Structure formats: structure tokens, C-alpha cells
Structure 1
Amino acid sequence: MVGERVVVKWLTPPVPLPHPTPDIFAHLVDSGFNDTAPPYAALTGVLQGRAHLLALITGYLPEARDGWEWCVDEAVAGSTAFAGELGRLTADLHLALSTFPRSQQDAPGDAADRANGALAEALELTGGDDGAWLASKAQVMRQELAALRNGIRTPLIRIHGDLHVGQILRWRDGYAVIDFDGNPTVAGADLHQPAARDVAQLTTSLDHVAQVAIKRRSTPPDHATAWASRARQALLTAYRARLAARNRPDLLDESLIRPFEVEQECRELIYAARHLPRWRYAPMGVLRTWYGAEKHKENIA
């Protein structure tokens, strides 16, 4: 931070151009989307004969806290008043990104193969009792992923790609979405995907917030999971309403949300195994909530 006026984000190491963020920043400005830290500049340089992105400079947002702080406070308090605003913000983001030009080189991959690959990797990397439990639920998880075999029939738009509550700042004047660098744990992810991909990652992050509240703030599990359910419903209701008001309800295919959520939990397990082992409790807590013994019996029946 420089004088509480600007924030300079240095990329270490520098990243070869092209990089997604400068183009997305420019497009969001042109589209009139203002719910982000105002973009000021991108610092580039030539390293070993190739142009690289060195740093991004954005406006400073006073009193900003990320969602792993403020949203956990909301879970502890049992408040979901924030969720409607997040749904509105996400819809406005997708409306703006839906007009981002698509390159001829952007070729969508097979969503079903990608999701089943994530499940296979999660099973391989998750050991111990958690791994045994996960293996016992693999079949019902595959059943939920099967919806992706029907193909993608919704518009493919440029998505955020790593949209979770940690990317949503609450600051003095409202909320702002940040960090358009894409998902650092997914190599070669398609730039254009269904809006449901972002929506699913955001809704599962509410479930992760509930798990954080349980583990770190001693919130009763039933209270935390009930809060997550109410928050996700309020978010989705506001998201749908905003798209409808802008005559773009076609951007969301709700049949994709659940399989993308299942895939996201697999990716959280992969991330935990490869980068942050202590995080495993969160996706495992979510999966155990979804696929407890009684729920598993209902799904099989």
C-alpha cells in the first residue's frame, strides 16, 4: 500500500504476457462495472527478450477486509443480509464479462472429463480415514457429475475463474471483487466457461466459511450449516433476479451448479494435498455434510 491511496501488487516471479488481468480490467471499465478496486496501471518489462507483467496498480479501498474475515463473522452471528448484495454483484460481473470478446484459440474442454479427473485425483491424494470415507462416497459423487455428460448448452462467457469469498472485499462503501488472475491450481483452464462455474465456486465457499466458523470460532455445526444453506439461497435468488432484470436469465444453467460444486470440493482436496494440508478439514467437512449416512442412502435409493 502506498499512502493509503494505491495498492501495488508485485507478481513474483513476473508473468509472461499476455496475462488476463489487464485486459479484463480494461473491459470492466468499458462495461461500467465498478464493484472492484479501481484499476490504474499495469507495469510491464522485457525480461530475456519477452514482455512480462511485473505489477498491477489499483486503488486503495479504505477499511477493506476479505471474506475469510468478514464472512466468518456473519456466519458466527447467523446473519445472511450480505448474501443478496453478493448475488447482485456476481450477476453484474457476469453481465459485464459476457461481452468480453472470445479468441479463436479459446476451445472449451470436456467438462465431464475435467470433473471426473478431479475426483480421481482427489481420491488418489486424500489418505487416511478421510480417504477411505471419500472412496466410499465416490460412486454417488460420480452420479452427480454425470449431469455434465449431457453437454454444455448455456452461453460460455469469460468468467472470474477463482471466485470465492476471499476474493470479495467488504470495505467502507460496500463490496468489491478482486484478483482476476484465474485459478492458480488449475493448469490450462478454459478462459470461457459457463457462469455456473463461478456461481458454484462462490456457493461452496459459503460452505467453507461455515466449516471455518465451526473449527475456529466454535460455532455449533447445525447452526453453521443452516446458515450456509440460507446464505446460498439468498445469494442465488438475488443473482437470478438481477439476470432476469437485465434480460439475460440464459446465462445461468442451474443444472450445472451441483456438479460444478462437487468438482470444486474435489479441487479443494487437491489444493489441500498439494499446497495446504491443514485446509483439508474444510472440503471434508462440506462433503460429510452433503453425503452423510442418511443422505447417502436417499441418493442411492
Structure 2
Amino acid sequence: MTAAVVAALSSGAEPPGGEAVTRFHPLPPIAATAGERGFDVDQTNHSVVVDERVVVKWLTPPAPLPQPAPEMFAHLTAVGFTATALPYAALTGRSATGGETLVALVTAYLPEAADGWEWCVDEAVAGRTAFATDLGSLAAGLHAAMATPSPAFPDPVRQATPGDGWAVRARAALARALELTGGADGDWLARQAATLAGRLAPLGRAGGTPIIRIHGDLHVGQTLRWRGGYAVIDFDGNPTVTGADPFQPAARDLAQLATSLEHVAQVAVKRRGADPARALAWAGDARAGLLSAYRAGLAARGMAHLLEESLLGPFEIEQECRELIYAALHLPRWRYAPMGVLRARFSGDVPSAASTVPAEEIV
């Protein structure tokens, strides 16, 4: 079925299911008899690889429009950003109640691709940090592209106002993390609550900060290393945050990407038996390399003003709180990662090298 859909799209025809099509780039020629295989890389959608060249991500169930990905694809196509899986098309349909829905996204397949929870953990275990320069340059290129006008986003850079609510949202995340985190971790978090709340204060003084359409869920798992280099993927927004304005400071994306390197270090210790002290040192070096390359990348494009440095630390604290909330509500075994980051930062604690959790059960 999926091959028939791709074949129709590649020939310029409408898909057999009658979905409406928004096209971004021409597809390569694909026959209806082309091979296809499942390619499930997340828990909420179903992806199919066709002819080892095209990926169709079927949303299960179809998502009510508007959704961020089609707009992002249109914008990135218009401004010439190519460090992603090339977007080919978006398929939309009608729900039983008559509302428009996003049915599927069609993109290029990236050969030999691995996401950051694979390749970056390998780098941590080996102690290599050269990749961080590429990662920082990739993020800078993405944000520069997002700040470039297009027909999809004709006014891509705006100015924040003091009432944008970032401090309120961050304090709420801290309060929720405190509520949901139990045991010794919860006791430690409660003792640090005042310190953590103090670190969030700059978010209430950020009026006038440039804001752009950010990725919204930028972490190493959204960065693929493939045969052609690195690519950022998954522009569907953050599934754990509802009601967030798509226009945010670039520092929010950067904070999530930077803290994900610290999570990688925790995973390397927990899952791969990496030396704890060396893993933490690796995370610090990788984070520094990432930030340096990001700043240089923006400056080279005349867009250094997009990064408000004072927001980076507070957004990192908020992100760890959101990781704890996610762990409590969806994946309890993940709690060790954000707690490990917070303990290392505020207590100097080093994660244990020994783990009693089976490797297959650790993110």
C-alpha cells in the first residue's frame, strides 16, 4: 500500500486514498511494485521505507491540523536548508467530524543513519568530542534558516515581551517535578528547590529577546549521523509540552540540545559501563564544543543576536524538570538521567558505574 502511494506521488498523480497533497520537492521515480519495510523509530507513529529511498511516516491516528511539520517543511525548502531528511510531501485528509488532519509525511531515506542515542553514546564511551563542532554548526544553521524570511514565515524574527510567560512555565515545571519525583531523588530535589528556582529568575527579565520558530524538541535523538553527514529531523514539536508558542528564543532549543549531551554521559555510564568521572568530563568538553561552534555559526551568518546567553542556564534547568516529569508520567526508568545531571551540577555527585538495570531496559 505505501509503495503505491509513493509511486503515485512520484508520477505527479494523487494518492490512491484520496488524500490532499502538499509538495515540497520532487520525488525520485518509484514503481508501485517497489519493496517496502517497516521502520518504526518512535512509539506514536508508523514509518515505512520504500525502495530504500523514501520514508513515509503515517501518523497514527492522523493529527488535527494545524501541525508544525508541514509549515516547517515549506519554510526550510524555501530558504534552502538541506541538513535534514529532504521533505517530499505532506498528505492531509478529513476526520470523521469533518476537520482537517495530517495523515502522513513523506521524506527522503538517509542510508546508514543512526540517531544520537546510538552514535553519540558511542562517542561518549570512546571519549571523542570532535562531533560537537558539527552538532553546534548544524544547530546554528537551522536557527539561521528559521530566522530567514520565506512565504511560509514572512516575519520570522520577533521580539519577546515581558509577559510571554517563560518564568511562569518554568516555575510550574519545577513544581510539577517536585510533586512527581519521590524517594531519595525527591528529597534531594526538595532540598535544592530554592536554588533551582533562583536559577530560573532571568526568564522573567527577558523582554526584547529575539524569538523565532524553533525546532521545539531538539536533542541528540533528533540528529542523525548518516552516510552523508549529520541531519536534524522530526519537526513535529515537543509531544510532552502542550500550548507552547512555536515562537521561542533560540536558547531554548540550544539548552535542550546541550543538556542532551549530559544525558548521553549518564546513559554511557548506566548502559555501557563508562567510567563515571570520565563521562562527566566528556559531557563538559562536548557541551563546550557545541556551544562554541553554535556561537561561531551564528556570528558567521550575522545572526549572533539570536542567542540570548542569559536564558541558556535557566532553560537547561527547566529542561531537566521536564525530563523528570516525562520520566514520572511515561518512562520511570529514565529518571536516572536528569537526576544524574542535576546532582552533578549542584552536588558534584558522580553517577555509579555499576547498574542492576538490564541494558535493554535503559533508554
What is the TM-score with the length of structure 1 in the denominator?
Answer: 0.94
The CA RMSD over aligned residues, in Å, is 1.6
Q: 1:33 aligns with which of 78, 81, 89?
A: 81
Structure 1 spans left out of the alignment, 5+ residues: 295-301
Alignment of 1:87-126 (within 5 A): 87-99=136-148, 100-101=153-154, 109-126=164-181
- 2:121 counterpart residue number: 72
CA distance in 1, matches of 2:292, 2:340: 25
Deviations 1:232-252 (A, max 9, x none): 111111111111111111000
C-alpha separation in 2, matches of 1:253 and 1:62: 36
Whether the 8 Å CA contact 1:37–1:58 is kept in 2: the answer is: yes
- Give the aligned partner of residue 153 of structure 1: 208
Structure 1, 10-19 or 56-65: larger mean CA deviation: 10-19
Partners of 1:238 and 1:286 in 2: how far apart? 22
Matched pairs, number: 293
Q: Residues 33-58 of structure 1: CA distance to partner in whole angstroms, max 9, x if unpaired?
A: 10000001111111121111011010
The answer on 1:179 being equivalent to 2:261 is no
User: d(CA) in 2 for partners of 1:184 and 1:122?
Assistant: 17
Q: TM-score, normalised by structure 2?
A: 0.78
Tell me which structure has the larger Cα radius of gyration.
2
Answering whether residue 72 of structure 2 is matched by residue 17 of structure 1, we say no
Whole-angstrom CA distance in 2 between matches of 1:241 and 1:23: 28
Question: Relative to total residues, which structure has the larger helix share, 1 or 2?
Answer: 1
| Bigger Cα displacement from structure 2, 201-210 vs 41-50 | 41-50
Q: How does 1:86-235 map to 2 (within 5 A)?
A: 86-99=135-148, 100-101=153-154, 109-235=164-290
Whole-angstrom distance in 2 between the partners of 1:21 and 1:256: 26
Name which of structure 1's ranges 191-200 and 150-159 shifts more when overlaid on structure 2. 150-159
Flag the structure with more relative contact order, 1 or 2, with Cα contacts below 8 A and sequence separation at least 6: 1
Distance in 2 (alpha carbons) for counterparts of 1:170 and 1:285: 26
Percent sequence identity over matched residues? 67
Matches within 5 A, 1:274-289: 274-289=329-344
Q: CA deviation at 1:147?
A: 1.4
Cα offset, 1:293, TM superposition: 6.1
Q: Which amino acid aligns with 1:230?
A: D
When residues 198 and 175 of structure 1 are mapped into structure 2, their CA distance, relative to the original with a 3 A threshold, is same
Contact map agreement 1:102 1:192 (CA 8 A) in 2: no
- The C-alpha deviation readout for 1:110-149, integer Å capped at 9, x for no partner, is 1100000000000000011110111011111011111112
For the residue of structure 1 that corresponds to 2:172, the secondary structure is helix
Please state whether the residue corresponding to 1:96 is helix, strand or coil: helix
Query: Once the 2 structures are TM-superposed, how far is the Cα of residue 102 of structure 1 from its aligned partner?
Result: 5.2
> Which portions of structure 1, spanning 4 or more consecutive aligned residues, are displaced by more than 6 angstroms?
none
